[in-house]
Amino acid sequence: MDTVAVVDLGGQYAHLIARRLRELGVYSELVYPEEVEEDGEYSGYVLSGGPSSVWEAQHDRIVERILASGKPMLGICYGHQLLAKVLGGEVGPSPKPEFGPTTVRVLVRDRILEGFPARVKVWMSHNDAVLSPPPGATVAATSEGSPVAAFWTGNVYGVQWHPEVKHSQLGRELLDNWIRLIGVKREWRPGRLIDELVEYVRRMVGSSTAIAAVSGGVDSTVATVIAYRAIGDRLIPVLIDHGLHPEGEVERVERALGKLGIKLRIVDYSSEFLAALEGIEDPEEKRKVFGRVYARVFEEIAKSTGAEYLVQGTIYPDVIESGGRRGADVIKSHHNVAGLPEKFGLKLVEPLRMFYKDEVRLIGRMLGLPEELIYKQPVPGPALAVRIEGSINRRLVEIARRANAIVVEEVEKAGYARRLWQYFAVVTRSRATGVKGDRRAYGMVVAVRMVVSDDAMTAEAFRPDWDLLEAIMRRITSEIPEVVRVVYDVTSKPPATIEWE
């Protein structure tokens, strides 16, 4: 299968480039600069953006190595400047540094910019710019701060803007044009890899026994079904009842896996988790404490069963947000990635580690999972622990559980569930004055959040009907005595994350 390498030069959107190429049917994977070989097996290379300056000369040799192979290349932002410099163009401080939405003037509507209008609004983020093109190169676009905003020479292309982000108009079309020009085959279909994923688990586990960490979401369920196909009864699917699951979650998971012929083992450790989390205010510390208890529990189960491996449904956004790739900042530690202790007693098996949520859903469909499970909204690993601001206790968990259930029930009744990525309630630390039963009440504030997204890397707040918000507000304030006020979160990601903590 033809594969395109996205060379990760430290840009925050490098992973998105790989994702967009996959969406267009081409398998792509991130590689570090030192992993680039002079005549590798890749059919093409994309150089990502990055925080470096071309004058640091730390990546020139990598570019020269790829150029020597004759393979097609696309440079984006810093990668664009790097290509121009190595090929003999002039790179220097931009006459007008550009950040955010920028209008680009298209000079040549051909090849990589075929089908583009004369002007297009794109997403820029740069201080330096290509001031003059490499000898013999065609300047395809320009902007106020980028005299050479796009160029090509032979099978080498460069663009100053970020076509991989959805803020850039025609970004998908630009990448589609590049794929067409370099002639790679569009053979990527996640569902076609099921046999390879099964073989991966079989090879990893060998003749040993493995535990599958089941949460009830599509990621852990797909990972469990793949592992079950690989090693059969040597897989022990375990759901830890940590006391923080949404209302009815444990029972739903047991029923769903039972229909697939997989017997789930449920172990109650709710007291241990709640005791460990009580008194902890910082959300990042909450995630890490949850991760430590989670690891300890699975190590105990492993000792009692003789298991040596732990199968998890870790997916790529978990890895990125946990700083799992070099150069990626830690946004929040996921309990099954950065939340695990350094000396974890089980060997991890993560068949979905390089997949996005929508790709996992496609694999789930190929596995024959029911639609209600495939499209079940994501719930964070620490569950309601990160939907309660600050320290938690049993009563706060009960309030969060009921408030979340009300949001879910009303959203589904209104018919919005399939349009949304996530919808939930957050028990905030804020207090407000209210009136209940004609008497003053000083009580809690619950925030409601609904977002739309394709992959959880970015998200926009949903604009619901007022009747839906009012129904949610009336139920929460009437069914939960401690709550006097309900607010709606309109913040996108970025600047926020989807979950509050």
CA distance 292 to 243: 16
First to last CA, the chain: 40
Amino acid at 16: L
* Amino acid identity at 335: H
Strand ranges across the sheet with 73-76: 27-31, 3-7, 44-47, 73-76, 156-159, 150-153, 138-142, 90-106, 119-132
348 alpha carbon, distance to own chain's centre? 20
Catalytic residue selected from 15, 162, 242, 245: 162
Told to judge if 77 belongs to the known catalytic residues of this protein, a careful annotator would answer yes
**Helix/strand/coil percentages in the chain, nearest 5:** 35, 25, 40
Token digits of residue 29: 């994977």
Q: Residues 13-18: contacts with CB within 8 Å, 24+ apart? A: 13/48, 13/49, 13/162, 13/164, 13/165, 14/48, 14/49, 14/50, 15/316, 15/320, 15/325, 15/457, 16/164, 16/165, 16/457, 17/46, 17/48, 17/76, 17/164, 17/175
164 carries an active-site annotation: yes
Q: What span, in angstroms and rounded, lies between the C-alpha atoms of 141 and 72?
A: 20
Tally the C-alpha atoms within 13 A of residue 83's C-alpha that lie toward its C-beta. Answer: 33
Cα 378 from Cα 53, distance rounded (Å):
38
CA 391/CA 393 separation, integer angstroms: 7
Q: 23, 98, 164, 389: which is the annotated catalytic residue?
A: 164
64 classed as catalytic:
no
Query: Which spans in 38-159 are helix H?
Result: 60-69, 78-86
15, 77, 334, 335: the catalytic one is 77
Judge contact between 387 and 404, C-beta under 8 A.
yes
Give catalytic residues, as residue numbers.
Answer: 77, 162, 164
